[in-house]
Amino acid sequence: MSVLFVVGIVVFFLGLLASIALHELGHMSFAKLFGVRVPQFMVGFGPTLWSRRKGETEYGVKWIPLGGYIRMIGMLPPRRGDAPGTVRQVSTGPWQGLIESARGAALEEVGPGDEDRVFYRKKWWQKVIIMFAGPFMNILLAFLFISVVVMGIGVSTVQPVIASVSKCTIPVAQAGRDCRPGDPETPAVRAGLRAGDRFVSYEGRRIHSYAELQKLIRGSGGRTVPVVVRRGGQDVALSVPVVTNQMPSLTDPDKTETVGFLGISPTSARERQGPGVVLGTMGDLTTHTFGSLINMPKKMVGVWNAAFGHQKRDPNGPIGVVGASRIGGEIAASKEPGLDKLAFFLMMLGTVNFAVGMFNLVPLLPLDGGHIAGALWEAVKKGIARLARRPDPGHVDVAKALPLTYVMAAVIITMGALLIYADLVNPVRLNG
């Protein structure tokens, strides 16, 4: 285990902890802005490692650095008809008992003068903003990290510039072997193409990207095609006798198809892109994340099979804090140039932050999205009551959803434990 590998793990892990702290800071900032009392701001869970009180809030770090939280008073409202701060005796029934115990614990820390500083009494739109501010911080961090990479460092793009020319045409079934006597020369060799040539036009069409050139080559098998390349600052006109070959499909790499073949490898280079590419990347990330959330149960089955069987981890499947930090170590220890390492590192942090933000918006308690859904439902009920000229229905009692909340919390804890175990025994690796 190299020093760079350990440094990469530590730096990436600290980046995740900073993201957690900023998530909670988003919640706390708006909670305090709207007058909610916040007794605690903590990064981590379990026993307190360090803390310091400033004003009415205790700031600290816990021993188990797998998340964070802020504690706002009055997250659960009293039962209808109870005076603010009143704690009733526990009702009969297992679920009702749990609900009233949680309600009582939430109300016991509401002191004199706190009646207007409890979360449940805030306007519905204030509650939405408070709970949305945490995931928004993660999404904002993702946007910033991706913007730095795309617009500042640049993204690696394939250029219509020849990096190397293959000497002979080899059937796809024998790909990887050296040229043998009797193997035909590639069209690129026969036409006199060289490494460093940049395609200006192909069969009379101007070339702006390698993807455009690749499609034209694949569609011109069996024809002699005029091309113009820029070589040493001058345009050189050539005729290329394009042949056909079995090549992997562009839409399904597991399949092959008969297409035009030239025998060249393109050059990759970093290019800074504009805001449009950032927005496109965020859009693609949103689509991918939604798909991952919908397929989460199926993906977790794959994680289970990889953890307790011999199945390979899906590189596009769920990954925990341990696994993500390990990949950070692999990035740092790789032989890639420093700028490539930094770009990959920031993209990883951006992707993880975006996934965390979107996951927290799932409309189920104890996630932030569950509180947002409760506040929106409160707005709907109040709106209907106003239109029907009925009395104000009051606050939505999210405590009634606690049985589902406990189940959801157990599922999240189980998923987290499974991911940590899988990341230790069968981690996702950059090199497969």
Among residues 319, 339, 338, 341, the alpha carbon closest in space to that of 330 is found at: 341
Structure tokens belonging to residue 381: 């009920």
- Whether residue 367 contacts residue 31, with contact meaning beta carbons closer than 8 Å, is answered with no
The per-residue pLDDT for range 336-368, each reduced to its tens digit, is: 777 888 998 899 999 999 999 999 999 988 889
156-271 sits in which CATH class? mainly beta
**DSSP character at residue 59:** E
pLDDT the model gives residue 1 = 63
Among residues 79, 96, 98, 75, the alpha carbon closest in space to that of 88 is found at: 79
Residue 151 has pLDDT above 70, yes or no: yes
Give first-to-last CA distance, the chain, whole Å. 18
Phi/psi of residue 206, nearest 5 degrees: -65, 140
Specify which residues 48 forms β-bridges with: 62
The better pLDDT of the pair 232, 334 is held by: 232
Residue 173 has pLDDT above 80, yes or no: no
Instruction: Return the percentage of the chain with pLDDT > 70, whole number.
Output: 91
**DSSP character at residue 80:** T
Active site residues: 24
What is the DSSP annotation of 243-293? EEEEEE-SS-TTSEEEEEE--EEEEEEEE---HHHHHHHHHHHHHHHHHHH
CATH 2.30.42.10 residue ranges of the chain are 156-271
What is the DSSP annotation of 161-184? EEEEE-SB---GGGTTPPP-TTPP
The per-residue pLDDT for range 66-118, each reduced to its tens digit, is: 788 898 988 877 766 555 544 444 444 455 555 666 666 666 677 777 888 88
Among residues 106, 93, 221, the alpha carbon closest in space to that of 169 is found at: 221
Structure tokens belonging to residue 176: 């990887």
> Does the predicted TM-score (pTM) go above 0.75?
yes
pLDDT the model gives residue 398 = 79
Q: What is the crossing angle of helices 321-333 and 3-33, to 10°?
A: 130
**DSSP character at residue 83:** P
Residue 409 has pLDDT above 90, yes or no: no
Among residues 293, 299, 418, the alpha carbon closest in space to that of 355 is found at: 293
The per-residue pLDDT for range 11-69, each reduced to its tens digit, is: 888 898 899 999 999 999 999 999 999 999 999 888 999 999 998 999 999 888 878 88
The per-residue pLDDT for range 200-254, each reduced to its tens digit, is: 999 999 999 898 999 999 999 889 999 999 999 899 999 999 998 888 887 777 7
**DSSP character at residue 311:** P
The per-residue pLDDT for range 412-431, each reduced to its tens digit, is: 889 888 988 988 888 887 76
- Whether residue 38 contacts residue 56, with contact meaning beta carbons closer than 8 Å, is answered with yes
342 Rama class: left (phi>0) / alpha (psi -120 to 50) / beta? alpha
